[in-house]
Amino acid sequence: MPARTILLLILVNLLWALNVVVSKVAVDDLGMPPLFYAALRALLTLLVLFQLLRPLPRNWPLVAAVGLAIGGGSFALFAIGLSYADPSTAGIVSLSGAPMTVLLAIVLLGEDVGWRRGVGIALAIGGVVIAISSPSGLQSSAGLGWIGLSCLVGALGSVYVKKIDVGGKPLQAWSALASFVVLLPFSLATERDLVAPLTAHPWQVLGCLIFAGLVGAVIGALLSGLENGEGNFLVGQIETLTMPAWAAIAMAAAFFFAFAVLPVWGFTQIDDYQMRQNLIGYAGGCIAAVAGYPIWAVLAMGGLVPHPTAFGIFVIAFAATMLTFLAVKLRG
């Protein structure tokens, strides 16, 4: 597998991990009803991609159903699960979506699975079992059940994507439309105090929606658009990248919220001991970024490694932050 593909997969997983954390904040800390939050997320995506609903695709009901499964349907179930489960355990259990997709493809489409994919499925399922059997997993078993159902619905949708003749961007638009039309009535019928979190925490909720709706849902379409240029996120030709101005502004705002506003706000919600742990984690990431670039650059001059990239430095800093934070947590 090319290094560029591996790094792109890392980017997607980083964004998904951030999406889990942001959604947990929205549903748990800010008190957003899960279905209403998922419906607003779909509405925001729909407003951005509305023009891609035309022309009407063949067999559009199937397209809408698949879009609902891979979009708002699975996300709504995941958001409900986050109301009961902690984000770390939820993130681990969500990994079961990949082996579910492979197993459903075998059953429904007759695909073959080699031994490598078989080992991958076994490892993924084993990790989920360990997460569920841990004390924290058992304490949040109701939430993990919803998250498991979310993975199953998303896996079914992913399998049937092969049955429809629609591009990635139009499918995102149809997913948003179907999700909003289905989820909003369910939310109005089953949830209460829908507007209260919006009036109590308007900017925080808006930031969560921007990140979940634009970065979480549209990121695949934007990344595919970036590949039309001569450069991409994973090489040094950053000046060759192009995207619409609205997309650049929206993504910049979402990243600012996720990496600056949300952490600062989070510091106000924890005690001094937890703040110390978080600050040590951030210090680890800062040191990795400051020291990582010159070390990487010197090694590249010697022909030992490729030249540094902005995304590579970001991955190093982010990974160092997470590892430092985990080390501090494990030491108690």
Checking if the pLDDT of 261 tops 70, the result is yes
What's the chain's average pLDDT? 77
Residue 176 belongs to a domain: yes
Neighbours of 224 (CB within 10 A): 12
Q: Which residue has the tokens 């506003």?
A: 261
In a domain, 178, yes or no: yes
**Of 210, 265, 254, nearest to 30 (Cα)?**
265
Distances (CA, A) of 140 to 65, 230, 257, 328: 30, 47, 28, 24
27 domain residue, yes or no: yes
Q: Is residue 79 part of a domain?
A: yes
Q: C-alpha dihedral over 323, 325, 326, 329, to 10 degrees?
A: 160
Q: SS3 for 42?
A: helix
pLDDT single digits (tens) 144-161? 788 888 888 888 888 888
Residue 289: CB atoms within 10 Å: 16
Angle CA(93)–CA(94)–CA(99) in degrees, nearest 5?
95
Tell me which of 73 and 85 has the higher pLDDT.
73
Closest Cα to residue 297, out of 285, 284, 310, 286? 310
Task: Say what the pLDDT of residue 228 is.
Answer: 43
284/32 Cα distance (integer angstroms): 33
Least Cα distance to 83 among 150, 153, 182 occurs for 150
Q: What confidence category does residue 299 fall into, taking pLDDT thresholds of 50, 70 and 90?
A: very high
- Any domain includes 311: no
Q: Check residue 129 and give its pLDDT.
A: 72
**Nearby residues of 210 by Cβ (< 8 Å), 6 or more positions away:** 44, 250, 253, 254, 257
Q: Residue 126 above 80 pLDDT?
A: no
Averaged pLDDT for residues 111-118: 74
Q: What does the block give as tokens for 250?
A: 């929206």
Number of domains in the chain: 1
Whether 322 is covered by a domain: the verdict is no
Identify whether 326 is part of a domain. no
Asked whether residue 328 is domain-assigned, the answer is no
How does residue 140 score in pLDDT terms, banded at 50, 70 and 90?
low
Q: Report the share of the chain in percent with pLDDT over 90.
A: 4
Structure tokens that stand for 228 in this block? 């039309």
Structure tokens at 198: 């919006």
**pLDDT above 70 as % of the chain:** 81
Residue that is written with structure tokens 């990974």 in the block: 319
Q: Which residue has the tokens 């984690």?
A: 281
Cα gap 183→67, rounded to integer Å? 13
* pLDDT value of residue 1: 53
| Structural domain harbouring 174 | 3-269
CA distances from 102 to 105, 317, 318, 329 (A): 5, 33, 30, 35
Per-residue pLDDT of 180-212, as tens digits, reads 998 899 888 888 888 888 888 887 888 888 877
Distance CA 42, CA 214 (A): 10
What is the pLDDT confidence band of residue 298, given thresholds at 50, 70 and 90? very high
Question: How many other CB atoms are found less than 10 A from the CB of residue 65?
Answer: 19
